[in-house]
Chains A and B, each alone.
Chain A
Amino acid sequence: SAVISQKPSRDICQRGTSLTIQCQVDSQVTMMFWYRQQPGQSLTLIATANQGSEATYESGFVIDKFPISRPNLTFSTLTVSNMSPEDSSIYLCSARGSTDTQYFGPGTRLTVL
């Protein structure tokens, strides 16, 4: 299994600002993902973070709004840019190794005022 940590665990931000969320995995993993979970909802995949190349974004998500980095096999960042109140959500990092089992971080709870 993989143990995933995220920083920050929560934040309150002003509209128009940006926040970068860090995700650290305790072992090398094949794939890393970023999800958004709006209040009372299921998870929506934002993008797959690719090591050493641009992330692969899902429909409705764009790089300018959610730039992602993955410099190595254990670390990734997600930036939420030019935030608005509609970006208030939980952002979850996830990782998968050589099996098809996916593990999740504790989430970052973002409130935009």
Chain B
Amino acid sequence: GDSVTQMEGPVTLSEEAFLTINCTYTATGYPSLFWYVQYPGEGLQLLLKATKADDKGSNKGFEATYRKETTSFHLEKGSVQVSDSAVYFCALHPPHGNKLVFGAGTILRVKS
């Protein structure tokens, strides 16, 4: 079945460091791909999305590119801030289904 695998956390970085959170997926066909962010004590917020191969989603300095050949959707940011500390979830929506499939989530901690 469809699945999403994220790199394990926590990921601990210093402020202004470069961030990569790896996400790979297994799916039939061409799913839509998402990154959600959950700040402490809050619900999930959509961070960015991509709906087809080679699409790049971007928002708030974060970006991820839909790589069909490697079935990946890695999240990157050039310079993280303390306020980026949160849990990041990679997810896919299968082309012929109604349910989002989530990864396990990756905790990001940014130190000042």
Q: Tell me the A residues contacting B by CB distance below 8 Å.
A: 1, 4, 6, 31, 33, 41-43, 45, 48, 92, 94, 100-107
A42 and B43 contacting across the interface, CB-CB below 8 Å = no
Q: Which 9 A-B pairs have the closest CB atoms?
A: A104-B44, A106-B43, A107-B43, A100-B93, A104-B43, A100-B32, A42-B102, A42-B104, A42-B105
Interface residues on B, range: 10 to 19
Q: Tell me the B residues contacting A by CB distance below 8 Å.
A: 32, 34, 36, 42-46, 49, 51, 89, 93, 98-100, 102-105
Tell me which residues across on chain B come within 8 A of A94, comparing CB atoms. 100
Q: Is the interface of A mostly helix, strand, loop or mixed?
A: strand
CB distance from A91 to the nearest CB of B (A): 10
B98 and A104 contacting across the interface, CB-CB below 8 Å = no
Tell me which residues across on chain A come within 8 A of B102, comparing CB atoms. 42-43
